[in-house]
Amino acid sequence: MSKKVEVIRNYNFSDGALIQLADKVILNGTRDSVELIPEGVTAARLTALGTQNDTFRNMEDDVEWAGLVSEKAEIKDAALEVCETQTRNIRRMAANIFGEGSKKYKRFGFDGINALKDVERIKAYYRIVRRANQRLADLAPEGLTAGLITTYTAACAAADVAYDVLVDTIEDRDEATENRIELANAIYAEVVKICNTGKTYWFDKSEAKYNDYVITPSGTTQTDENGSMKFNGLVTDMFGNPVVGAIIRASNAEGSISTTTGVAGLYSLQIIGLTEPANATLSAEFPGLATQLRAVTAVGGVNQEQNFQLMPEPTPPTP
């Protein structure tokens, strides 16, 4: 059976940069709709790209999956440690009855059993369960009981389940990562096509608009490299906890652009397509919390910090 080909990213910048790049291309394509619709950059095509980008933005990223795998690994390790503690107790009983040099004792495991690979380690623990059941009468003087064996068996089963959950989580992570990369590659491919169309159209008509469609190695456009307008910050609730998935939007009469907060409640929003300096409204919103609005001015080359603390929506008065 041939080995499955690993899916790799077709771009050399961050996923966050790809999201911002796609947002900008959508804004530019919308701005230039009169010129580019005849070239195939239609509203439906830009909407489809926006839907893909929003899906990509909201997918669990590599950091989130790493945290989940780490959590399941800790649960598995704790379950194995319970087995190891109980194993030492049973082996102590066997050593006292049979002697550490005896073959009967050696059938209750061996020193360094916890150094085995997890699957072999669990298998060895189950083998000790069988030996304990077979030698219950012999080890009873040292305190072995049917109840202790039942407890040990349950610990082995818990470790077995924890190991399976970890393996399943790793497989889920790998599948999710592959799906995320495939979607990102599709977004990047569409962005490149639209940018190629934009560059071709504006080549001898507008240098500034041509530069709007030139993708740099950092995942921005040539216009951005000349002086970008950015906001970043932290969104928390009334208790100071980070709000994950809050929508941050900058808008004025010329248009709008938005992003969402990540796992730590942080956001970074690059203001694109607005005349500089851009007087705009910066808003933060999340279901169940009151939206905050803030008047801001975006200036090229300036990275401004704007933090939000969202309060619960007020309870409507009783009629």
DSSP secondary structure, 125-187, as one string? HHHHHHHHHHTHHHHGGGT--HHHHHHHHHHHHHHHHHHHHHHHHHHHHHHHHHHHHHHHHHH
- Based on the domain organization, do 104 and 187 belong to the same domain? yes
- Based on the domain organization, do 116 and 233 belong to the same domain? no
Q: Is residue 266 part of a domain?
A: yes
Which pLDDT does position 224 carry in this prediction?
60
Q: For residues 48-59, b (16+ Cβ closer than 10 Å) or e, as one string?
A: ebbebbeebbeb
Q: Is residue 278 part of a domain?
A: yes
Mean pLDDT for the stretch of residues 1-5: 51
pLDDT at 168 over 70: yes
184/14 Cα distance (integer angstroms): 11
Which pLDDT does position 209 carry in this prediction?
87
Which pLDDT does position 34 carry in this prediction?
93
- Based on the domain organization, do 94 and 169 belong to the same domain? yes
Mean pLDDT for the stretch of residues 113-123: 89
Q: Could you tell me if 278 and 297 are in contact, meaning their C-beta atoms sit under 8 angstroms apart?
A: yes
Which of these three, 176, 199, 217, is where a domain ends? 217
Q: Is residue 2 part of a domain?
A: no
- Based on the domain organization, do 152 and 190 belong to the same domain? yes
Which pLDDT does position 277 carry in this prediction?
61
191/181 Cα distance (integer angstroms): 15
Which pLDDT does position 239 carry in this prediction?
86
CATH code of the domain in which 266 resides: 2.60.40.1120
Mean pLDDT for the stretch of residues 72-101: 93
Domain that holds residue 77: 7-217
Q: Is residue 164 part of a domain?
A: yes
- Based on the domain organization, do 59 and 190 belong to the same domain? yes
In terms of pLDDT, which residue wins out, 222 or 81? 81
What tens digit of pLDDT does each residue of 128-147 get? 999 999 999 999 999 999 99
229/190 Cα distance (integer angstroms): 25
pLDDT at 315 over 50: yes
Chain centroid, CA 9 distance in Å: 16
Mean pLDDT for the stretch of residues 110-127: 87
Q: Which helix (H) or strand (E) holds 10?
A: none
What tens digit of pLDDT does each residue of 14-54 get? 888 898 899 989 988 998 999 999 999 999 999 999 999 99
- Based on the domain organization, do 294 and 199 belong to the same domain? no
> What tokens appear for 116 in the block?
């085995």
Which of these three, 160, 186, 217, is where a domain ends? 217
- Based on the domain organization, do 68 and 124 belong to the same domain? yes
C-alpha closest to that of 50 among 22, 29, 30: 22
Which pLDDT does position 198 carry in this prediction?
94
Domain count, the chain: 2
Which pLDDT does position 5 carry in this prediction?
58
Which pLDDT does position 25 carry in this prediction?
92
> What tokens appear for 146 in the block?
């049917």
Which pLDDT does position 1 carry in this prediction?
45
65/71 Cα distance (integer angstroms): 10
Which pLDDT does position 35 carry in this prediction?
93
Q: Is residue 318 part of a domain?
A: no
190/46 Cα distance (integer angstroms): 9
Mean pLDDT for the stretch of residues 166-181: 92
- Based on the domain organization, do 243 and 210 belong to the same domain? no
SS3 230: strand
Strand extents, DSSP E, 255-314? 255-260, 266-271, 278-286, 289-298, 302-305, 308-309
What tens digit of pLDDT does each residue of 245-260 get? 999 988 877 677 888 8
Which of these three, 192, 217, 242, is where a domain ends? 217
Interhelix angle 15-31/146-202, nearest 10 degrees: 40
- Least confident range from 104-108, 114-118, 225-229, 299-303: namely 225-229
- Based on the domain organization, do 270 and 201 belong to the same domain? no
pLDDT at 82 over 90: yes
- Based on the domain organization, do 137 and 61 belong to the same domain? yes
State percent of the chain over pLDDT 90.
53
pLDDT at 267 over 90: no
What mean pLDDT, rounded, does the chain reach? 87
Global pTM reads: 0.60
**At a CB cut-off of 8 Å and minimum separation 6, what does 49 contact?**
22, 25, 26, 187, 190, 191, 194
- Based on the domain organization, do 113 and 237 belong to the same domain? no
In terms of pLDDT, which residue wins out, 216 or 49? 49
- Based on the domain organization, do 35 and 137 belong to the same domain? yes
Which pLDDT does position 240 carry in this prediction?
86
Phi, psi of 159 (to 5 degrees): -65, -40
> Cβ of 309: how many Cβ atoms within 10 Å?
15
229/257 Cα distance (integer angstroms): 12
Q: Could you tell me if 33 and 26 are in contact, meaning their C-beta atoms sit under 8 angstroms apart?
A: no
Which pLDDT does position 317 carry in this prediction?
58
Which pLDDT does position 179 carry in this prediction?
93
